[in-house]
């Protein structure tokens, strides 16, 4: 699946997926959300971001995990 709001560039943040046009990684956004930081607070801390950027980061991670498949226990 394509994610136009998320990009990977080896010259930016060592190629980690970032919100396009920023150095803000998908990982950073997910860690903030996992610690209970609301989307509104993330948007306050990073005024260049839009709500759609945060949701795109979550969607990117979900699609990435879907492709990983299941690991036998």
pLDDT at 71: 61
Average pLDDT across the chain, whole number:
93
Please give the pLDDT value at position 57.
Answer: 98
- Measured CA to CA, the distance from residue 38 to residue 33 in angstroms comes to 6
> Domains of the chain by range and CATH?
6-68 (1.10.10.10)
pLDDT less than 50: residues of the chain: none
pLDDT given for residue 54 in this prediction: 98
Query: What is the per-residue pLDDT for 69?
Result: 65
Q: Please classify residue 46 by burial: count the beta carbons closer than 10 Å to its beta carbon, then call 0-12 exposed, 13-18 middle and 19+ buried.
A: middle
Dihedral of CA atoms 59, 15, 32, 52 in degrees, nearest 10, equals: -40
């Amino acid at each position: 699946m394509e994610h136009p709001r998320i990009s990977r560039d080896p010259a930016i943040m060592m190629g980690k997926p970032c919100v396009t046009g920023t150095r803000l990684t998908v990982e950073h956004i997910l860690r903030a959300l996992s610690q209970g930081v609301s989307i509104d607070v993330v948007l306050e801390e990073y005024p260049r971001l839009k709500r759609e950027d945060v949701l795109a980061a979550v969607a990117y991670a979900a699609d990435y995990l879907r492709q990983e498949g299941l690991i036998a226990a």
